[in-house]
Chain A
Amino acid sequence: MVQNLGYLKESPSQTAGPYVHIGCTPNFAGITGVYETDLGSSMVNDKTLGERITVRGRVIDGAGTPLKDAVVEIWQADAAGLYNSPSELRGAADPNFSGWGRCPTSADEGVFTFETVKPGRVPYKDGRRMAPHITFWIVARGINIGLHTRMYFADEPEANAEDPLLARIEHRHRVATLVAPREGSIYTFDIHLQGENETVFLDI
């Protein structure tokens, strides 16, 4: 016999369900007067440093239909590559940038939209620099555990080429599922849950 390691088990995930908006974006759900605004609905203000961009896209199921009941959250570094988090020890992030956003996909077209800034590069664990990226987390009815992925920027081909995560994708044609094309200041990132163009999802 040996000592018991004594660790607890993580609480198991369950789907967010179709009414996730009641708890996470109540104003969007028409429940007004409880919270002033929906948390995560704004990431920037007038003083935020960096290049303003719009990130938009859809979450698409295995039959090609956009989800109209998903909630998408993003987490990213500021323009200088610093995270607005107590666990960020490399420096102080831009106080006018939250780094975190939350948006439900719209009831008509199933589109999510974030007004944010382009993130700076941050280090991988061995000190190499990762390409600029935004971490995504997707929950919805029918998704039993939130899906993590990353969005990279199509106008950063050199950085993307040396990114340690992208380099680990064995089937090279799948790299494109993580790279959002740019048009003006808008990046479009469609997330395919299943099928031919299935987005690379991460076990992080």
Chain B
Amino acid sequence: MSDLSNKKPETGAFFQRDRAWHAPALTPGYKTSVLRSPQKALLSLDGTISEITGPVFGHSILGELDNDLIHNFARPGESAIGERIIVHGRVLDERGKPVPGALLEFWQANAGGRYRHKKETYLAPLDPNFGGCGRAITDEEGGYRFRTIRPGPYPWPNGVNDWRPAHIHFSIFGHGFAQRLITQMYFEGDPMIWKCPIVTTIPDRRAIEQLIAPLDWANTIPMDARAYKFDIVLRGRRSTLFENRLEGN
């Protein structure tokens, strides 16, 4: 779909996923997972060309305001209400290498915790100037950034009194379909994080901490917006030094 650079594309198979680091499929505290989790074991498959390859998107798909959620749905001259923030970071792979050309899509509730979605019935009002979606493509160093308002927590029908912490959803495309990932970003210091049955589907506290973005004072813009830094790690891939087999060594 696009020529990202003149670097030789990588074609090694991806490191296997550490499924003890990720949440298991069945996490009864998150009730919807009970009927939506496979009960049989996954069939393991070392990456073939069907998984090593994946769609890559060019900057031509991006509109001027795609990474500005404060303005991309707002009427001319107006802006979304809420705490103005910048979210930025890098997309790296497990080897620490930047992932350029990664498409990130993000979505979130407004400052009051209300989503612009027909199935959403929370009584907090919609913000007429806030849609809640945005996207960006990483630069050569794997960097991305967008501007938004900080989302509010919202209640959800799981337990009687469950509330999601403030969060932004991220969908990420790396270079291979096996890297496809959807996750959520949380905010440093939010006491709701450790009460949340979705957060705690992840068994390892260090893995949860990987999803908590710290306040980034250095990148905070005076009199304008505070910054949060959120780095994302995608699966690494084996080297292709030994190309006696089609998938690498």
Where the two chains meet, the residues of A that have a C-beta atom closer than 8 Å to any C-beta of B are 6-24, 26, 29-31, 33-36, 39, 61-63, 65, 67, 69, 73, 75, 77, 83-89, 98-100, 122-127, 130, 133, 135, 137, 139-148, 150, 165, 168-169, 174, 193-195, 198-204
Where the two chains meet, the residues of B that have a C-beta atom closer than 8 Å to any C-beta of A are 1, 3-4, 9-11, 15-19, 21-25, 27, 30-40, 42-57, 61, 63, 65-66, 72-73, 92-96, 105-108, 115-120, 131-135, 169, 171, 175-178, 180-184, 198-199, 201-202, 206-208, 210-211, 232-236, 245-247
In angstroms, Cα B119 to Cα A194, docked, is 25
A137 touches B177 (CB 8 A): yes
B169 touches A168 (CB 8 A): no
B55 touches A165 (CB 8 A): no
Q: Which of B23, B30, B178 contacts A145 (CB 8 A)?
A: B23
Q: DSSP class of B's interface residues: helix, strand, loop or mixed? A: loop
Residues on A with C-beta less than 8 A from B198 are: 14-15
Other A-B pairs, 15, CB within 8 Å; known A29-B118, A135-B177, A150-B50: A7-B236, A10-B233, A15-B182, A17-B184, A22-B107, A73-B180, A75-B50, A85-B55, A85-B175, A87-B176, A98-B55, A142-B35, A142-B37, A143-B36, A204-B47
B210 touches A9 (CB 8 A): yes
In angstroms, Cα B24 to Cα A142, docked, is 11
The smallest C-beta distance from B45 to any residue of chain A, in angstroms, reads 5
Q: DSSP class of A's interface residues: helix, strand, loop or mixed? A: loop
In angstroms, Cα B134 to Cα A31, docked, is 11
In angstroms, Cα B15 to Cα A86, docked, is 19
In angstroms, Cα B19 to Cα A58, docked, is 26
In angstroms, Cα B47 to Cα A204, docked, is 6
Q: Which of A9, A84, A87, A200 contacts B52 (CB 8 A)?
A: A87
B246 touches A127 (CB 8 A): yes
In angstroms, Cα B50 to Cα A19, docked, is 29
The smallest C-beta distance from A166 to any residue of chain B, in angstroms, reads 10
In angstroms, Cα B57 to Cα A26, docked, is 18
